[in-house]
Amino acid sequence: MATKLPALVTLNASDLAFAGEPQWLQQMRQSAWHTYNEMPMPWWRRTDLTAFAAGDMQLTYGASAGQVQGVAPAGVVVMPLTQAVQVHGDIVQKYLGSAVAATTTKFTALNAATWHDGWFVYVPKNTSVELPLHVIQGFGESNTLVSRNLIVLERGAQLSLVEQYAGSGTIALVVSEYILGDGATLTLAGMQTWDAGVRHMGHQIAHVGNDATINWTAIHLGGTHQHIEAETNLAGNGSRVDWTAATLASDGQRLLTAPWLRHAGRATEAHMDFKTVVKGTGYTTFDGMIKIEGGSTETITRLEEHALHLTPQARSDSIPGLKIDTNNVQKAGHASTSGEVDEEHLFYMQARGIPRDVAVHMIVMGFFETVLDRIPVEAVRDQVTTTIAARI
């Protein structure tokens, strides 16, 4: 059963002393709560913070509204994080908060103090999970979802994971941490397919070890507001990311994605390809940054981001950035486009008898195809494709 906590605006530190939680976690919560109260609200130009007002949040504790599909082989752990702190406390303690620090923003502090749901996935060293796992997080009985996913791949581990947020509710404050040990490979499809009305605040960081690889596909379709800050930290030497995203914003949706790509190790390689479609009064922001740290040499990095506008009122803002603190970059490239469906493409397809509306549909689906193609579970891929097709 979910227990309602006092309204956030009247919540006290003592309300977060949940019975049965280990001492270290209680301390983490208290410290994060302190940070939350001390930190000012962030100043964000493109995210409407009134959609994430404290007065609208009603926190709960004690019920999990998650599901998992797929079977984890022996030794691999998939369980709600609240349970994992009891069963695998030592591993959780080691990694929880190691990628996304409570002090990042006021919202990550609130999350670290009050989280009540989310997933723990753990793949031991040199273990390959053959079949993809699919964890789904919803609101359940909560009005406000505060969840954390902690995904840990030890050295040489391999996993395909679909991490999905779905269902109806109001405000979701979610954090994901992906820890990839040396030589690990994570194929990740992170999707938000919320029902209309949900306001999504997400912070995600992948910490990639030596010679480790993350193939990350992000799908952003649902809710009315989205503010996602996602970082790939190529900390290890020879680490790699192949990072793609598909965002679709229709009438009334304001979806912001702020991907950070940090090259810190030597000889790291990154390919980013972010695709956005806006229609109706939909509005998206791509606020991306590639940072090549001083010690990162022989870096290869490429960022592509493309936006298609299906209606004149639809808007997309693109703010790509590149900061290089080293003299030794092997390759750094950037390409960006934004505009309507190409009339030459439409003419070509219509010249083959395909009606204009069908042609537009095919072109838009084709635009997303290279991203959707990377979702590791066929049923999920089909479902997402169908959802998008119905909305275009």
Q: Return the number of the residue (37 or 350) whose C-beta is nearest another protein.
A: 350
Pairing, β 60-61 against β 3-4: antiparallel
DSSP 297-321: -SEEEEEEEEEEESSTT-EEEE--E
Measured between alpha carbons, how far is 166 from 143 in angstroms, rounded to an integer?
14
Q: Choose, by CB under 8 A, the member of 73, 335, 348, 386 that binds another protein.
A: 348
Measured between alpha carbons, how far is 315 from 319 in angstroms, rounded to an integer?
13
Measured between alpha carbons, how far is 348 from 9 in angstroms, rounded to an integer?
59
Q: Choose, by CB under 8 A, the member of 195, 345, 387, 391 that binds another protein.
A: 345
CB 259 within 8 A of CB 245: yes
Cross-strand partners of 220: 192, 247
Of 257-265, 278-286, 290-298, 337-345, the window that binds another protein (rule: CB under 8 A) is 337-345
Measured at the CA of 259, the angle between CA 332 and CA 207, to 5 degrees, comes to 90
Interface map 350-379 toward another protein (x if CB under 8 A): xxxxxxx-xx--xx-xxxxxx---------
Structure tokens at 173: 């404050």
Q: Return the number of the residue (294 or 355) whose C-beta is nearest another protein.
A: 355
Q: Return the number of the residue (275 or 291) whose C-beta is nearest another protein.
A: 275
Q: Minimum CB separation from another protein for residue 373, in Å?
A: 9
Measured between alpha carbons, how far is 371 from 367 in angstroms, rounded to an integer?
8
CB 265 within 8 A of CB 210: yes
Is residue 232 within a helix (H) or strand (E), and if so which, with residue range? Answer: strand 225-234
Q: Choose, by CB under 8 A, the member of 312, 344, 378, 390 that binds another protein.
A: 344
Q: Return the number of the residue (74 or 351) whose C-beta is nearest another protein.
A: 351
Q: Return the number of the residue (11 or 246) whose C-beta is nearest another protein.
A: 246
Q: Choose, by CB under 8 A, the member of 342, 382, 386, 389 that binds another protein.
A: 342
Q: Minimum CB separation from another protein for residue 365, in Å?
A: 7
Of 17-25, 115-123, 307-315, 345-353, the window that binds another protein (rule: CB under 8 A) is 345-353
Q: Minimum CB separation from another protein for residue 277, in Å?
A: 12
Phi, psi torsion values for 80, nearest 5 degrees: -55, 145
Q: Minimum CB separation from another protein for residue 273, in Å?
A: 11
Q: Minimum CB separation from another protein for residue 16, in Å?
A: 48
Residues that bind another protein (CB under 8 A): 342-345, 347-356, 358-359, 362-363, 365-370
